[in-house]
Structure 1
Amino acid sequence: MATVYFLDVPENVPIVEVAERDERVRVERTGPYFAVSADTGFEIDRRATGSRHAVWYSCVAGLGGFRISGWDKDSLRLKVRT
């Protein structure tokens, strides 16, 4: 299972909530981070999160087993590393 980490701060909560809507995704808290895990790649729609661009482009704190396949003003796309 691959994981993307987001710092547990109020600005990132909407991002994690949108990710959690995907039934393939599991969210846990690990220390000061949200650990968002999945067996497959997934996408987070920025517009659905309501995040400003500054928050959006600084939200990822770390990756474990994922790679970012795309990150633009519309979405964050994650793929499992092979």
Structure 2
Amino acid sequence: MSTLYVLDVPENTAVATVAAEDPTVVVDKIGPYFEIRGDGPVVIDRRATGCRHAVWYSCIAGVAPGDTITQHDKNALRVESV
């Protein structure tokens, strides 16, 4: 299972919304964060979110222990269990 945390602020809402469109991904709230988790890798397409680059590159609050960010570029964000 891969887990990503994103601060729940208006600028980041699209990240959680796009992630939730994947049927293998669950988006919950934990305190002031969106918890985005999936059975396999979590992949979010930047263009689908409509996020500008500054928001995109600053949206990650953290990942769960044992997970790693394997892609975070202008195209996508990918978090996987190692």
TM-score, length basis structure 1: 0.93
Question: Aligned-pair distance for 1:77?
Answer: 1.2
Map 1:36-47 onto structure 2 (within 5 A): 36-47=36-47
**Which residue identity does 2:74 align to in structure 1?**
K
CA contact (8 A) 2:2 2:42 kept: no
Q: Which runs of 5+ in 1 are unaligned?
A: none
TM-score, length basis structure 2: 0.93
Aligned pairs, how many? 81
Q: Which runs of 5+ in 2 are unaligned?
A: none
> Which portions of structure 1, spanning 4 or more consecutive aligned residues, are displaced by more than 4 angstroms?
none
Question: Aligned-pair distance for 1:42?
Answer: 2.4
Q: Provide the alpha-carbon RMSD of the alignment.
A: 1.0
Question: Aligned-pair distance for 1:5?
Answer: 0.3
| Structure 2 counterpart of 1:60 | 60
